Amino acid sequence: MQLTGAEIIVECLKEQGVDTVFGYPGGAILNVYDALYEYKDQITHVLTSHEQGASHAADGYARATGKVGVCLATSGPGATNLVTGIATAYMDSVPMVAITCNVGTPLLGKDSFQEVDITGIVMPITKHSFIVKDITTLADTVRRAFYIAKSGRPGPVLVDVTKDVTGAKYEYTACAPAEIIPKTDTIKDEDIATAVQMIKEAKRPFIFTGGGTIISEASREVTELAHRIDAPVCDSLMGKGGFSGEDPLYTGMLGMHGTKTSNLGVSGCDLLIVLGARFSDRVTGNTKTFAKNAKILQIDVDAAEINKNIVVDASVVGDEKEVLKRILAEVPEMRHPEWTAHISELKEKYPLRYDHSQLTGPYIIEKLYELTKGDAIITTEVGQNQMWAAQYFKYKEPRTFLSSGGLGTMGYGLGAAIGAKMGRPDKTVVNIAGDGCFRMNMNEIATAVRCGRPLIEIVLNNHVLGMVRQWQTLFYDHRYSHTILNDAVDFVKLAEAMGAKAIRITKMEEVEPALKEALACPGPIVLDCMIDQDLSVFPMVPAGASIDDIFDEEDMKK
């Protein structure tokens, strides 16, 4: 049947199973929005307050559901406003398709009104970017974009379509989505045999799991492996929920703000099994001393990650779930009582600690965990709020912790929370923010209100840029250069002005009643939690130090 280019785009979205898109209209993309009007009963469009909010919402939708997130923007500034969100998704391997529309083909390259080479701009931060100037290639390009975004190591893809293509007509024929097959052709029998032998020989094995565990849906296999070989498990920020935080073998996060147990355990193990993690500098600290007593076995779908940051002793390239299935078929039951007893002693000796005499971020997050019993999707901003959320909430399932790990994007969490709530409306969704981050994209509270769904925004308000101030305290001799937010901004009034309910919390005894009210609230609610400006995130490893040089406040007192 003959359809316009705009209608072809929407039909292709339907083919791919898209039920929700996030965006903001403008002149060049008007034809697509006109088509969406006709399909409004089949595809829900969420109008965000800013295009960056749309990109973060698409990202959050993708992370929470495992499906491809979709965002839309017009040409010029509309398209460039997506860039930070696209880069965020790229760094964290999130499947996303961004559809932008450009000026008409005859106007390209002439500095036309709101013209920008968005495909060129995003080339370093996408798996692929396309510009469609011929309607005959439109449908296949959109389909290919979804396949690229989802296959192998996922990531964002941008499709830019000129306005004349969206208005032209062409024959459309429906097509089933291409099947996404896990990457197994790179898995070699000899690599599996080597991995199995290393595991059999290990006396002090340790498992480090990252975001790849969640992407490949390998959580069950990781859990089975850990219990089969009696190995403790730590995770990266991106790996939260890939292995249950309530499991007795779990030791906490690894790295700069990880637990002492994880850092000391990895430093003392004789085999480190790395699953779907890229050895971020925030994890490894000094690469020359990382896991210095261990052989390292790395399993990853992306061959480019092998030996990129850390030289490993052996590796298996391929889909993590499939690799683990093959390893589990060969690995016997094993027990390491002395090793697991040592790790248990470390856990008992070095628990996470915080000041219980005043209102703090950890207290609020622990109380949230207690009241939800861990059954919630937590999104975060970046900084102290992010680290406390990673440390003090126990994530039992994959896709329940959404955070900007690689890019560290302030302003990410609220948009991501909206996307997560749209994708999984049955789940309680909470965004944990600092006041500095909340300022970045707090206009999306209006979007949350417009969506009409319950969503909790917790602002840990210390009137400073907390993580930067912490570094200024520790390493810059208390020189607080432009990190104090000593103005009169009232987040309660702002939230209420945008149509949300809001509560200010100033003391510990107000936390539980406020959280209970928030959990029962039928719409968006903001909790403005006033905490001290000099609270810090501990434990901590100084930048460039070895991870076993980890210290906390007790160490500083000594």
Q: Tell me which residues are annotated as active site.
A: 51, 113-114, 163, 467
Integer Cα distance of 554 and 505 in angstroms? 28
Cβ of 51: how many Cβ atoms within 10 Å? Answer: 27
Q: Which has the closest alpha carbon to 241: 92, 376, 400? A: 400
Q: Give the residue carrying structure tokens 């000094």.
A: 286
The SS3 call for residue 81 is coil
Integer Cα distance of 292 and 259 in angstroms? 18
Integer Cα distance of 82 and 84 in angstroms? 6
**Token pair of 36 as six digits:** 């969406």
How many Cα atoms within 13 Å fall on the side-chain side of residue 294? 30
CA dihedral 463, 469, 470, 473 (to 10 degrees): -120
Query: Phi/psi zone of residue 285: left (φ > 0), alpha (ψ -120 to 50 degrees), beta?
Result: left
Integer Cα distance of 383 and 403 in angstroms? 11
Contact (CB, 8 A) for 42 and 14: yes
Contact (CB, 8 A) for 314 and 294: no
The SS3 call for residue 72 is strand
The SS3 call for residue 529 is strand
Integer Cα distance of 381 and 434 in angstroms? 7
Integer Cα distance of 352 and 350 in angstroms? 7
By CB atoms closer than 10 A (0-12, 13-18, 19+), residue 104 is middle
Integer Cα distance of 242 and 220 in angstroms? 8
Pairing outcome for strands 156-162 and 128-132: parallel
| SS3 per residue for 159-228 | EEEEHHHHHCEEECCCCCCCCCCCCCCCCCHHHHHHHHHHHHHCCCEEEEECHHHHHCCCHHHHHHHHHH
The SS3 call for residue 457 is strand
Largest CA distance in the chain: 77
